[in-house]
Amino acid sequence: MIVEEKLLAYPVPEIRTEVRWQDVALYNLSIGLGQDPLDRRQLPFTYEPEIRAMPSMAVVLGYPGFWVKAPETGVDWVKVVHGEQSLILHKPLPASGTLVGTTRVTGIVDRGAGKGALIYSERVVRDEATGEKLATIEQTTFARGDGGFGGQPGPVKAPHPEPAGAPEVTLDLPTRPEQAAYYRLNGDHNPLHIDPDVAAKAGFKAPILHGLCTFGVVCHALMRELCDYDPAKFGRMDLRFSSPVYPGETIRTEIWREAGGASFRARVVERDVVVVSNGLFRFA
């Protein structure tokens, strides 16, 4: 069971990540870039002469791993799912170097017995050599099995409002059946995404795609449609995960342009299920 004071003070390890161009290429491939070998706009994200990091790669840099699995957190890790994700990119990510991620728990919300708990955390990624801040990543973890521990019922982070009317732009990006196995190589080793038995215990028919892989696919869509694949134009991206994606499904990103950026959501084409909602994008 969660003990609020203990979890708020939990010492999430500070992590140093040595980044090589091969790591950048692996991440980009793991979120689906390179599936069209003739698309020259994607080539710099997979080809080493001018390799570029996708903004969403920040979520795997300085990543402390699936730390809620540690027994001392008190979290029922089998029932944990990703709730919300926010990324602020302070400057384009380097394609090589040593980066440091510092993570802390910033809040816990008890939704009540049988309703789960929300765990808010923040990670700041810096360049070790210069100390320069590169990205700030905020995450909401939905601990489905941990409500009713006697914690505070709020405050709950307010989501970005859903847009009205038909989207101005839609883009379909396919995922591959083995994509979760590739994405795990970025350091997210939650067995929910590869072990059918663990997935079944969590209530899923099969291993599901990492929420952060879905995040990367949607980031790709925003980079393509709004930024012309230029990481320097990317400022911020927030979203809420509404439903899981199964590897092999097609993710359709729907975009409404607005001053300073856009609102967006995403759905799985094959099941017509919204998988990402309340999306906010802002230019740098």
Catalytic sites, residue numbers: 188, 193
Extended strands (E) in the chain: 15-19, 80-89, 97-110, 117-127, 133-143, 169-174, 234-241, 250-258, 261-268, 273-283
Pairing of strands 80-89, 97-110: unpaired
- Which residue is listed with tokens 């072990």? 195
Compute how many other C-beta atoms are within 10 angstroms of the C-beta atom of residue 177.
10
Q: Return the sign of the alpha-carbon dihedral for residues 67, 68, 74, 77.
A: negative
Q: Which of 197, 230, 192 is nearest to 213 (CA)?
A: 192
| DSSP code, position 261 | E
Angle at which helix 211-226 crosses helix 21-30, to 10 degrees, equals: 90
Encode burial over 5-35: b for 16+ CB neighbours within 10 A, e otherwise: eebeebebeebebebebebbbbbbbbbbbee
Cβ neighbourhood burial of 228 (10 Å; 0-12, 13-18, 19+):
exposed
Region of 229 (left: φ > 0; alpha: ψ -120 to 50; beta: rest) is left
Helix (H, G, I), strand (E, B) or coil at 151: coil
